[in-house]
Amino acid sequence: MAFPVTRLRRLRRTAELRNLVCETRLTPDAFVYPMFVCPGEGVRKAVGSMPGVFNLSVDEAVKEAREVHSLGVPSVILFGLPDKKDEVATGAWAEDGIVQQAARAMKREVPGLLLMGDVCLCEYMSHGHCGIVKSAPQSLGAAVAAPPAVKTDYEIVNDASLELLARTSVSLANAGIDIIAPSDMMDGRVGAIRRALDDAGLINTPILSYAAKFASGYYGPFREAADSAPQFGDRRSYQMDGANIHEAMREIEADIEEGADMIMVKPAMPYLDVIAAARERFELPLAAYQVSGEFAMIEAAAQNGWIERDRVMMESLLSIRRAGASIILTYYAKDAAKLLG
Residue 253: give its domain's CATH number.
3.20.20.70
Mean pLDDT of 110-135: 92
Average pLDDT, the chain: 93
- Asked if the model's pLDDT at residue 219 lies above 90, the reply is yes
Instruction: For residue 173, name the pLDDT band (cuts at 50, 70, 90).
Output: very high
CA of 162: how far to CAs of 32, 265, 341, in Å?
26, 21, 42
Instruction: With CA atoms as reference, report the closest residue to 153 among 233, 36, 55.
Output: 233
Mean pLDDT of 133-162: 64
Looking at residue 204, its pLDDT comes to 98
Looking at residue 143, its pLDDT comes to 42
Kindly state whether residue 43 falls inside one of the protein's structural domains: yes
Instruction: With CA atoms as reference, report the closest residue to 281 among 259, 258, 242, 248.
Output: 248
338 is catalytic: no
Kindly state whether residue 139 falls inside one of the protein's structural domains: no
Looking at residue 285, its pLDDT comes to 98
Looking at residue 145, its pLDDT comes to 41
Residues 6+ apart with CB under 8 A from 113: 65, 68, 69, 74, 75, 76, 106
Kindly state whether residue 256 falls inside one of the protein's structural domains: yes
Contact by Cβ (8 Å): 329, 287? yes
Instruction: For residue 154, name the pLDDT band (cuts at 50, 70, 90).
Output: confident
Instruction: For residue 152, name the pLDDT band (cuts at 50, 70, 90).
Output: low
- Asked if the model's pLDDT at residue 240 lies above 50, the reply is yes
CA distance 109 to 8: 51
Kindly state whether residue 147 falls inside one of the protein's structural domains: no
Instruction: For residue 341, name the pLDDT band (cuts at 50, 70, 90).
Output: confident
Neighbours of 217 (CB within 10 A): 10
Lowest mean pLDDT among 56-60, 87-91, 168-172, 271-275: 87-91
∠ Cα 334 337 339 (to 5°) = 115
- Asked if the model's pLDDT at residue 139 lies above 50, the reply is no
Mean pLDDT of 7-21: 96
213 is catalytic: yes
Total number of domains constituting the chain: 1
Kindly state whether residue 1 falls inside one of the protein's structural domains: no
Tell me which of 85, 151, 213, 334 is the catalytic residue: 213
Mean pLDDT of 169-176: 98
Tell me which of 45, 63, 84, 266 is the catalytic residue: 266
Instruction: For residue 228, name the pLDDT band (cuts at 50, 70, 90).
Output: confident
Q: Domain range spanning residue 303?
A: 25-128+163-340
pLDDT tens-digit readout, 23-69: 999 999 999 999 999 999 999 999 999 999 999 999 999 999 999 99
Kindly state whether residue 7 falls inside one of the protein's structural domains: no
Looking at residue 151, its pLDDT comes to 53
Looking at residue 136, its pLDDT comes to 60
Kindly state whether residue 78 falls inside one of the protein's structural domains: yes
127 versus 295: the higher-pLDDT residue is: 295
Mean pLDDT of 118-122: 93
Mean pLDDT of 195-207: 98
Residues 6+ apart with CB under 8 A from 10: 17
Instruction: For residue 322, name the pLDDT band (cuts at 50, 70, 90).
Output: very high
Kindly state whether residue 15 falls inside one of the protein's structural domains: no
Mean pLDDT of 264-271: 98
